[in-house]
Structure formats: C-alpha cells, structure tokens
Amino acid sequence: MKSTTSKIIVLSLALFALACVTPALEFQSYQMVQNKKVMGEMITWFGWVCLYKGLMAIFIGQFAQFANIFYVVALLMLQEKSYLTAAMCSLFALLSGLHTLSLNKMNVYNDDAGVIKLTFLHPTIGFYLWMASFLVLLALSIGLMIEHAKAKKGLSQENNPPVKT
C-alpha cells in the first residue's frame, strides 16, 4: 500500500506542476478612455503567473492563493500520518481554490498604474489541473484515514478476548 500511496502523491504533485506550465485563466483587457470602456486584447495567464501574481491578490480580496499553503500542509500531514488533518487541509485547499471563480466580480489590474484592467472570462485547463491536484490529495487522505481506522478497529478487537456467556 505504501507504494500506491507514493504513486498517488506523485500524481498529485505532477498535476500541480502541470497546472503551473499550462494556461490557467483567460482575461479581456480594457481601459477607460474619456469615461468609455475601450476593450483591448485577450490575455492568458499561465499557472506560474497566477502563482506569483496570486501573492498580491489578497489586496483585491482574492484568497485563492491560500490553497497552495493548505496543499503543502496537507502533504506534510500525510508524511506525519495525520490523515484527518491532511483531509481537512486538502478540503480547505479545494474550497479556497474555488474562490478563483469570484474573479468575475473584481477589478484585476494588469499594470502598476491601474490604467489597464482585466475582466475575468473563464478558467482554462491549468485551473482544472490545479483543482484536480487538490482533489487527488483529498481522496488519498480520506482513503488512508478509513484504512487506518479499520486497522485500528481490527487491532482493538484482537486485544479483547471474546466474552463467554
């Protein structure tokens, strides 16, 4: 089982790495010229761009970047065999990652002066790979938690001799 667990962790890490090198978010740029919205070009952010720009996203009320922190903590908790904590962190990573979808209600600035703004259009394959990495880790954590509980229950039943009536 340890080999299977390692393979699933590697799968999750591979999904995360793949999410970093694929297009993740699509935006439409625009700027205000004489109180009129002038549309610009389509902009695609790759996962690595989201990873570093996400650090500043908390200033516009976007907290999806915390999913990466929860993901790392979940990996560490799996290493420590704290499966419930790993499952909870994976779930929090999944839920906070979904906060990305609220970008359509926010102004995203593309430059330092705030002249060129972005309108969120839709997530692309990188976003879905990112979310899949959290989902795989959540499923693994839950599976290991159930397996550990069954093993613990089996050990406790072996220690108690059957009651004679």
Residue 60: pLDDT band (50, 70, 90) is: confident
Q: Is 63 helix (H, G, I), strand (E, B) or coil?
A: coil
CA dihedral 23, 53, 70, 134 (to 10 degrees): -10
Place of tokens 């906070």: 96
Report the C-alpha gap between 100 and 36 in whole angstroms: 27
Sign of CA dihedral 139, 144, 145, 149: positive
Closest CA to 135 of 75, 72, 77, 91: 91
- In the chain, the amino acid numbered 100 is T
Percent of the chain with pLDDT over 70: 91
The overall pTM is greater than 0.85 = no
SS3 of 74-137: the string is: HHHHHHCCCHHHHHHHHHHHHHHHHHHHHHHHCCEECCCCCCCEEEEEEECHHHHHHHHHHHHH
DSSP letter, residue 34: T
Q: Is 142 helix (H, G, I), strand (E, B) or coil?
A: helix
pLDDT digits (tens, 9 = 90+) for 101-137: 988 877 777 776 677 788 888 999 999 999 999 999 9
